[in-house]
């Protein structure tokens, strides 16, 4: 399957000399050969290329970080919470912006790409979720933590039972990350749902003994 050709908006000397129309670029270059999609007229035109700039992107995953770059228009806007794909030596990752560095020890929630020095992100396509499991008998000394590795769009729902290895537990509360659009930082009503990529920590009640009970 052939790739879709580049298109530009320029005046057509045949059907629209005063207004721009959509043209298909047949041969790019300083003097590009283009064809009007309205009347089919082919002619040459100078196509101004939009300037692009590169910025460093720090990609964090499970306490480890690596650096790559993104390219875009100087006027492109970035803000905390934006998601996009980056190419790193390890793999392609879906990431979410957690902070924008715009100066020495200066951070912003939103900025033009031209004003950004470094984009700080975290991986959200596959994530590690920490779960605090409290014993069903209320003995706090028996509280323990497990880590679940799941896709970023995995759903944690208050009141539902989950499993991790040999552990079975019922979700009782979910602590939400700050770089999300949720109204509250902790959800604890039955039926409340949070995607794994938005979870800071899951709180749960041990159901392992219930799962293994012969009765």
Tens of pLDDT along 165-193? 889 999 999 999 988 878 889 999 999 99
User: In this model, does residue 5 exceed pLDDT 80?
Assistant: no
Count of beta carbons in the 10 Å neighbourhood of residue 170: 16
> What is the predicted pLDDT for the residue at 3?
41
| pLDDT, tens only, 144-169 | 999 999 999 999 999 999 999 889 99
User: In this model, does residue 215 exceed pLDDT 50?
Assistant: no
For the segment 113-132, the average pLDDT, to the nearest whole number, is 95
Q: What percent of the chain has pLDDT over 70?
A: 93
For the segment 119-131, the average pLDDT, to the nearest whole number, is 96
Nearest to 195 by CA among 74, 49, 81, 29: 81
Q: How confident is the model at residue 209 (pLDDT cuts 50, 70, 90)?
A: low
Q: Region of 15 please: left (phi>0), alpha (psi -120 to 50) or beta.
A: alpha
98: number of CA atoms within 13 Å, CB side? 16
173 vs 170: CA distance, rounded Å: 9
For the segment 24-38, the average pLDDT, to the nearest whole number, is 88
Place of tokens 């939400």: 176
> What is the predicted pLDDT for the residue at 47?
77
Q: Region of 114 please: left (phi>0), alpha (psi -120 to 50) or beta.
A: alpha
For the segment 4-33, the average pLDDT, to the nearest whole number, is 85
For the segment 27-51, the average pLDDT, to the nearest whole number, is 86
Given a contact cutoff of 8 angstroms between Cβ atoms, the answer to whether 209 and 186 are in contact is no
Who wins on pLDDT, 212 or 70?
70
> What is the predicted pLDDT for the residue at 114?
93
| pLDDT, tens only, 42-72 | 999 987 767 889 999 999 998 899 999 998 8
Place of tokens 């604890």: 188
For the segment 19-32, the average pLDDT, to the nearest whole number, is 86
Given a contact cutoff of 8 angstroms between Cβ atoms, the answer to whether 153 and 197 are in contact is yes
Sign of the C-alpha dihedral computed for residues 12, 76, 86 and 124 taken in this order: negative
Q: Range with the lowest mean pLDDT among 12-21, 35-44, 122-131, 134-143?
A: 134-143
């Amino acid at each position: 399957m052939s790739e879709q050709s580049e298109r530009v908006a320029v005046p057509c000397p045949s059907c629209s000399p005063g207004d721009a129309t959509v043209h298909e670029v047949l041969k790019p270059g300083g003097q590009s050969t283009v064809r009007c999609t309205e009347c089919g007229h082919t002619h040459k035109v100078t196509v101004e290329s939009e300037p692009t700039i590169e910025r460093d992107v720090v990609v964090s995953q499970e306490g480890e970080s690596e650096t790559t770059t993104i390219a875009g228009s100087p006027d492109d806007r970035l803000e905390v919470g934006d998601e996009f794909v980056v190419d790193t030596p390890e793999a392609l990752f879906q990431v979410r912006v957690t902070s924008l560095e715009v100066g020495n020890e200066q951070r912003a929630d939103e900025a033009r790409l031209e004003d950004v020095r470094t984009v700080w992100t975290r991986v959200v396509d596959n994530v590690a979720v920490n779960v605090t499991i409290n014993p069903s008998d209320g003995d706090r000394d028996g509280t323990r933590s497990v880590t679940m590795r799941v896709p970023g769009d995995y759903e944690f729902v208050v009141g539902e039972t989950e499993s991790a290895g040999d552990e079975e537990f019922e979700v009782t509360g979910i602590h939400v990350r700050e770089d999300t659009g949720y109204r509250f930082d902790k959800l604890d009503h039955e039926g409340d749902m949070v995607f794994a990529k938005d979870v800071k920590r899951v709180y749960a009640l041990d159901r392992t003994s219930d799962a293994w009970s012969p009765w």
